[in-house]
Amino acid sequence: MLRISVTGPESTGKSTISEKLAQHYRTVWVPEYARSYISSLNRPYTLADIEAIAEGQLAQEARLEQHANNLLFADTDLLVLKIWSENAFGHCPPWIQEKLEQQPYNLYLLMGVDLPWEPDPQREHPHLRQYFYNLYKKELQQLQMPFVEISGLQEERFLMARKHVDKLIKNNRN
């Protein structure tokens, strides 16, 4: 099973490309659990909510992995939750950091901030996307995670992502 995380700041096309890639490769993608979780809250989220989201994301990924066709795309990962937690609450729960360091992804697609911002009630930082992008890149480098940067308009992103996924598939066949 090859596992690919689509990660990066808000409004960078993570969900769109995850779904398109899964359709192209005839497999499953794991939606962002935080979307449904946050939309059901009738109050501001807390650090405990971020932990619940992390648990839900991991459980959802494990559930959907059973239906994957040797390739799984995850529309978020624990890196997103680590950065979100640190930004909102000043720290990340140790167990999220520990699980992050053990994530079994073969490739991270780091989505660039060159798409126009799309407003959404759950998005919080329209003017800090480059700041967050730099944080994601720095974290991936420090964790020595295999990643590629994806940029351009939607179709260009899709083709660039496919090129890297095809390369991953080819390298894992050899």
Per-residue model confidence (pLDDT) at position 11: 83
pLDDT the model gives residue 122? 61
- Mean residue pLDDT across the chain: 92
Provide the domain count of the chain. Answer: 1
CB of 29 within 8 A of CB of 131? no
Q: Taking CA 145 as the corner, what is the angle to CA 30 and CA 126, rounded to the nearest 5 degrees?
A: 60
- CATH number of the domain enclosing 72: 3.40.50.300
Angle separating helix axes 78-89 and 129-142, nearest 10 degrees: 120
Task: Supply the DSSP string of 65-131, one letter for each residue.
Answer: HTT-SSEEEES--HHHHHHHHHHHHSS--HHHHHHHHT---SEEEEE-S-SPP---TT---TT-HHH
Residue 174 has pLDDT above 80, yes or no: no
Return all residues near 79 (Cβ < 8 A) that are at least 6 apart.
5, 7, 100, 103, 108, 136, 139, 140, 143
Looking at the chain, the whole-number percentage of residues with pLDDT higher than 90 is: 80
In angstroms, the CA 117 to CA 114 distance is 9
Q: Would you state the pLDDT for residue 91? A: 95
* Structural domain range at position 119: 2-173
The owner of tokens 């390298």 is 171
User: In the predicted model, is pLDDT for residue 120 greater than 90?
Assistant: no
Q: Tens digits of per-residue pLDDT, 70-79? A: 999 999 899 9
pLDDT category of residue 127 using cuts at 50, 70 and 90: confident
When pLDDT is averaged across residues 104-133 and rounded to a whole number, the result is 82
pLDDT of residue 121: 60
